[in-house]
Structure 1
C-alpha cells in the first residue's frame, strides 16, 4: 500500500475512534440530549484536530503496525494525553466549564481503541497472514536482546522458513518464562534434552557478545545433536546496516579461531584518517581490499587504490565507489618495484597516510624465488617508503608478518629486512614509519583454510605438514583494524606493533574442525602428514626477546623496541643480490635478518 493511501486510511480510522470515544464517554455519564450544544461539538472537533497534530508529532502514522511494541504504546499515551489536555483547556477558556469525567473516560477509551487497533493488526498478521506448515522447528540459543531480535524477525516475516519454538539461556531469571510466546526451556547445557523434547529441526545461536571459547562449547553441544547450528550476524554489522537479523548464516571455523576483537580508539583513528588523503598499496589483495573498506568508515577525503592486478583493483574500486559516494577514489595500476613510478604517484597525490600491503607472502614459492622476494618485499618496500619520505607523507604503515621473527624462510627474512629498511628511514625522515605484525589471516589468498576446504570437497585427504605444527590466526577484518589502529598509535615512528593473538592453534586441529564442519565424521575424510616444507617453522613467534616491551601500548596490542640495522651489510646485499646464487642468497638473507644490536658483521664476513 502506498504511503499516502495508508496515511489516509489510518487517519480516517483514528478520526472515527476519537469521535466514538468522546460520544461514548458523554453517553455513559450525562444526559446526551442536554449536551448537543456547541460544547460537545467543539470538543469533538478539537479532539480530532489535536489528535492528528500530536499523532504526526509523535510519528504514530509512520510506525509499521505489524511491529507494534511498547514503544509504540508509549507514543500513543503521550499523543492522547496531550490531546485531552488541549480539549480540557478549550472547554475552560471558551465555555468556562470542564467535563472532567467525560474527558477522563474519553482519554481511557481513546488509548484503548488506538492502541488496540495497532496490536490487533499485529496479532492478526502474525497468526493468520503467514503460512504455518512446513516451517522448521527452531531452537534459539540466547533469550536476550539478540535472541528476541531473531524470534521477532522470524515470527514477523512471511518469507521465514523457521518457526521459533524454544529458547535456552543460562540466565536463571529467564527460566520458565515466555518471550514473544516462546518458552525458555532450559539452560545452554540442556541443548540436547531440549532438542529431543521439542523435536527441534534447526538451531540458531543468538548471543552476539559471546566469546569464542563459549561459541566453541555451544557449537560442540549442537554438533552432538546432529544439527548444524547457524548464527545471527554481529551487532556491529546490524548497527552499520551491512546485514539484517534475518541473514542468519552457518557457523564458520573462522568464528571459532583467533581471539576476541580489540575495541578501536575511533577518535584517535578519526584524527589520523578523516578528511585526509590515504594511499593503499596492494589494494586489490585480501588484506589490502579489507583495509580499504575499514578506512572508508572514517571518511577520508580521497583514497588511492594502488595495485599490480587490474581486475582486483577494478573490483574493489567499483565496490567502494558505489558504497561511499562522498569519497573520491583514484586507481593506479603500478608495480612497487618501479622506483620512479612510486615517486611519480606520491608526487601526484601527496597522501597524508600510506598503508603498504603489497608483498609476496607465500613461503614455499619464495624459497624457490629468493631474488623476486628481495625485489618485491625489500626493494619494493624501500621504493614506496622513500617516495613517502620525499613527498612528506605524515605516517607510513607497513604490514609485516610473524614470520619476520627469528626467520627460517626467505619470505620471513625479506619481511624482517623490510622492517629494518623502514625503521632506519624513520631515523632520518620527518615521516613516521611503523610496522605491524600479525599471524596467519583466515580466508586470505594462499591461506590454509581454502586449501583444506577444496581437499574436503574432493573427498580428501586433508594434507597437514606435521602433527605438532601450530600457528596464530586472526580474521581479515581484525587484521585490517589492527593496521589502522597502529597508524593512529604511531608516536615518534620506528615502532613494531604486535597484536596479542591469544593461544596458537594446531593445524591438525583446524583440519579436524573443518572436516566436522563439513558434515563428515573422522573416518570419512582422512588426514595425511606430508612433512615440513623448506623454510617452515614448527612454531611462530611475534616478538624477539630483545624487542619485547612488557607493557601493552593499547589493550591487546604490544609494541616492539627499535633495533639497530647493519646498514653496510644491507646496502651490499641489495646492490649485489642478483649475482648471488640461490642457496647463497638464502643464507645471506637469513644472516642479515637475524642481526642483533650487539652484533657487528663486517663487509668481508658478509661476502
Structure 2
C-alpha cells in the first residue's frame, strides 16, 4: 500500500495542497449527503435542489474555515495534537454553518443533520489524514533499527519524541536504574531494569542502546558502558550537559560513545584563583597555538579574560583556524579581548623578543614542539633544533622581555626516554631549569603529563576509522600501555600548575590508571556492536593486527625520573625534584650539540644525548632518514661509496663519521 502512495509523498508542497483541497471538497460532499441519507432514509431527497444548494454553500464556507485554521499548512506525516484540534474545530464550525445557511437561504436542512454531518466528517476528513500518517509511519518503522533508550529522565523523553519523527531509529523501550520507574510507561514505552536488556533484544529486535544520561558523571557512564560492553549492543550517546548548556550540541543529537567515557575520570573542578593568577587582566602568549594542547590552552585562557591573547604558530593554516575559532567564541560569549595571530618560529629569538616586548607579554605558555615519536626519530636534527634550541630561544626571549611567568608543556616521554623526542623534551626541561636559576625575575616551570585523548597523534580517531573501514585495527604490541587524559582537563591543570610555580619547578599531573592500547581497541570494537576476530573467535568482525614497536617506542611510560615527589594544594598536581645542570655547565654542552646538528653528525648527537642527565637509553641504531641515506656533508656521495649493511649504516657506536 505504501509503495502506491510513495509518489504522493514526493510531490511538491504546492501540488499536495491542491490535492488536499480537492479531496476535502469530495469528502465534505460525501459527508453531507451521507448525513442527509441517514436522517431522511430516502434517496429521492438527495436529488432535490435545496440539498445541492446547501452543498454549494457548505463546501466553500468549509474550505475558507479550513484555510484559516491552517489545515493546509500542516504536514500530514508529522500531524500531532495541534493538528487534531484544528480538524475538530474545523469540522464543528463547518457543521455550525449548515443551520445558518439553511435559515438564511430557506434550504430546509433538518436540525439533526449538522450533528450527523459533524460525526461523519470527522471520520472522513480526519480519518483520511491520520490514515496517510499511519501508512507513512508504518513504512518508516519497517526499516528503522530498534533502539533502547538508557535513561528515562527528561533527556530520554526528549530523545524518544525526536526519534519517532526522524528516519534513523525506532525507540522501543526505556531502561533505567531507578526502581520506582520500572514497569511504568513513558512516551508510550515501558521502562525496564537494565538486567532485561537481553530480553529486549529478543522481544523487540533491539540492536542499539542509546545512553541518554547527559548529566551523569563520567565515572557512572563508565560503569554503565562496562555493563553494556559484553552484551553485543551498539552503544551510542547524547551530548554531555556542558555541550548542551553551551549550545555546542542539542540533547537529541546522537553520537558515538566518547572514549573519555571509557577511560576518563571525573575531572576535579578547577581552582578559580589558580586559573586567574597568571591570566586575568594580563597579556598572555601561547606558542604552538594551533596544536592540540596549544589550541585548548587558548580556549581556556580566553574564558579567564586576559587583557590580550597572542597566538604564535608556524603553520599558517593552523593559526588561521584557531584565530577564527577564538574570535567566534569571544563574540558568542560577549568577550571584548584583543586576539593577535602571529606567524613565527620559536627558533627565532629576535622575532620572539620583539613580539613579547611590543605587546608587553606577562605570561608565556610554551606548547610548541615536535611530539610524534617516530617522526622525530626519523628527523633527529629538526627535532632537536625545534624542541631543545627552540625552547632555549623562547626562554631567553622571555627573560630579555621581562616576562613574569614561563610555563613549558612537557611530556611523560621525557622520563627515561628511549627515543629522541623524549630526550629533547627532557633537554628542554633542563634548559628551563638552568635559565630559571640565572633569571629569578622570570618564574619558570614545567608541566609533565601523558597522552591526551583526541590529539592529532591519538590512536582513538585512527581506531575509529579502522573500525568503520572493517579493520584490521593496528596495534604495535599486545602489552603496550599508556596514560590518558582529556585535552580540556590537561589544559586546565597546566594553567593551575603554572600558577603554583616558584621557579624551576617540575610539575607532574596525576594521569590515573594506565590503559592497555589493545584492550582499548577491543572495547571500541565491542561498543560498535561488532566482535573481535582472534584465534578463539575466528568468526569475529574486526581483527587486531600487531605491527611491532616503532623506532624509539616504549612499552610503558613513566612520569617520574626518581621517587622524590611531593603533593601540592591540587589533588591532581604533584611536584618532582629532578636532576639539573647550572647554566654555566649546560651552555657549552648546548653549543657542542648545536655544532653536531649543523654538521648532521648523528653519531655525535647520540653521544651527547647519552652524556646529558636525561637518562636517555636508545633501543636500536640511528634511524634518521638522511643518516640512513648517507647524506652527511663531507662524506662521499652514496652513488660513489656503497652504503654498508645493505644500504643502512651500522649503529653510531660502531661507525663514527667525520664531518
TM-score (normalised: structure 2): 0.65
Q: Which residue of 1 aligns with 2:653?
A: none
Alignment check: 8 A CA contact 1:370 1:586 kept? no
Quick one: distance in 2 between partners of 1:208 and 1:510?
A: 23
> Following TM superposition, by how much is the alpha carbon of 1:486 offset from its aligned partner in structure 2, in angstroms?
1.9
> Following TM superposition, by how much is the alpha carbon of 1:156 offset from its aligned partner in structure 2, in angstroms?
6.4
Q: 572-581 or 501-510: which moved more? A: 572-581
Alignment check: 8 A CA contact 1:347 1:391 kept? yes
Q: Which residue of 2 aligns with 1:534?
A: 551
Alignment check: 8 A CA contact 1:414 1:593 kept? no
> Following TM superposition, by how much is the alpha carbon of 1:477 offset from its aligned partner in structure 2, in angstroms?
2.2
Alignment check: 8 A CA contact 1:409 1:590 kept? no
2:457 match: secondary structure = coil
For 2:154, which of 138, 142, 148 is the aligned residue? 148
Q: Deviations over 1:251-299 (max 9, x none)?
A: 1334312433232113431343233222111111122112212222222
> Following TM superposition, by how much is the alpha carbon of 1:541 offset from its aligned partner in structure 2, in angstroms?
0.6
For 1:176, which of 179, 183, 202 is the aligned residue? 183
Q: Which residue of 1 aligns with 2:604?
A: 584
Q: Note if 1:462 corresponds to 2:473.
A: yes
Quote the RMSD (CA, aligned, Å): 3.1
Residues 347 and 305 of structure 1, relative CA distance in 2, 3 Å threshold: same
Q: Deviations over 1:445-491 (max 9, x none)?
A: 22333444454455544332222111111222222222222233x24
Quick one: distance in 2 between partners of 1:298 and 1:227?
A: 42
Alignment check: 8 A CA contact 1:317 1:331 kept? yes
Q: Which residue of 1 aligns with 2:452?
A: 441
2:278 match: secondary structure = helix
Q: Deviations over 1:402-438 (max 9, x none)?
A: 0111222111111111112212222322222111111
Quick one: distance in 1 between partners of 2:224 and 2:270?
A: 28
For 2:571, which of 555, 564, 576 is the aligned residue? 555
For 2:192, which of 176, 179, 185 is the aligned residue? 185
Q: Which residue of 2 aligns with 1:343?
A: 353
2:550 match: secondary structure = coil
Segments of 5+ residues of structure 2 without an aligned counterpart are 1-79, 82-132, 534-540, 617-659
For 2:485, which of 460, 471, 474 is the aligned residue? 474
For 1:403, which of 391, 413, 420 is the aligned residue? 413
2:532 match: secondary structure = coil
1:229 match: secondary structure = strand
Q: Which residue of 2 aligns with 1:194?
A: 200
Residues 356-371 of structure 1: pairs in structure 2 closer than 5 A: 356-371=366-381
Alignment check: 8 A CA contact 2:233 2:527 kept? no
> Following TM superposition, by how much is the alpha carbon of 1:398 offset from its aligned partner in structure 2, in angstroms?
1.1
Quick one: distance in 2 between partners of 1:397 and 1:129?
A: 63
Q: Note if 1:287 corresponds to 2:293.
A: yes
Alignment check: 8 A CA contact 2:415 2:615 kept? no
Alignment check: 8 A CA contact 1:278 1:304 kept? yes
Residues 305-316 of structure 1: pairs in structure 2 closer than 5 A: 305-316=311-322
Q: Which residue of 1 aligns with 2:237?
A: 231
> Following TM superposition, by how much is the alpha carbon of 1:440 offset from its aligned partner in structure 2, in angstroms?
1.3
Quick one: distance in 2 between partners of 1:383 and 1:221?
A: 52
Q: Which residue of 2 aligns with 1:420?
A: 430
1:571 match: secondary structure = helix
Q: Which residue of 2 aligns with 1:521?
A: 531
> Following TM superposition, by how much is the alpha carbon of 1:363 offset from its aligned partner in structure 2, in angstroms?
1.3
> Following TM superposition, by how much is the alpha carbon of 1:595 offset from its aligned partner in structure 2, in angstroms?
6.6
Alignment check: 8 A CA contact 1:465 1:529 kept? yes
Residues 264 and 182 of structure 1, relative CA distance in 2, 3 Å threshold: farther
> Following TM superposition, by how much is the alpha carbon of 1:333 offset from its aligned partner in structure 2, in angstroms?
0.5
Alignment check: 8 A CA contact 1:286 1:476 kept? yes
> Following TM superposition, by how much is the alpha carbon of 1:246 offset from its aligned partner in structure 2, in angstroms?
1.6
Alignment check: 8 A CA contact 2:275 2:492 kept? no
Alignment check: 8 A CA contact 2:510 2:573 kept? yes
1:184 match: secondary structure = strand
> Following TM superposition, by how much is the alpha carbon of 1:568 offset from its aligned partner in structure 2, in angstroms?
4.4
Quick one: distance in 1 between partners of 2:287 and 2:157?
A: 44
Residues 179-328 of structure 1: pairs in structure 2 closer than 5 A: 179=186, 182-186=189-193, 188-200=194-206, 202-210=208-216, 214-219=220-225, 221-222=227-228, 226-325=232-331, 326-328=336-338
TM-score (normalised: structure 1): 0.70
Q: Note if 1:575 corresponds to 2:591.
A: yes
Q: Which residue of 1 aligns with 2:442?
A: 431
> Following TM superposition, by how much is the alpha carbon of 1:500 offset from its aligned partner in structure 2, in angstroms?
1.4
Quick one: distance in 2 between partners of 1:387 and 1:528?
A: 47
Alignment check: 8 A CA contact 2:219 2:266 kept? no
Quick one: distance in 2 between partners of 1:174 and 1:157?
A: 21
Residues 456 and 138 of structure 1, relative CA distance in 2, 3 Å threshold: closer
Quick one: distance in 1 between partners of 2:314 and 2:212?
A: 41
Segments of 5+ residues of structure 1 without an aligned counterpart are 1-65, 68-127, 597-607
Alignment check: 8 A CA contact 2:289 2:295 kept? yes
Alignment check: 8 A CA contact 2:440 2:503 kept? no
> Following TM superposition, by how much is the alpha carbon of 1:191 offset from its aligned partner in structure 2, in angstroms?
2.3
Q: Deviations over 1:287-341 (max 9, x none)?
A: 2112212222222232111100001100111111122132211111101011111
Quick one: distance in 2 between partners of 1:520 and 1:466?
A: 22
Residues 168 and 526 of structure 1, relative CA distance in 2, 3 Å threshold: closer
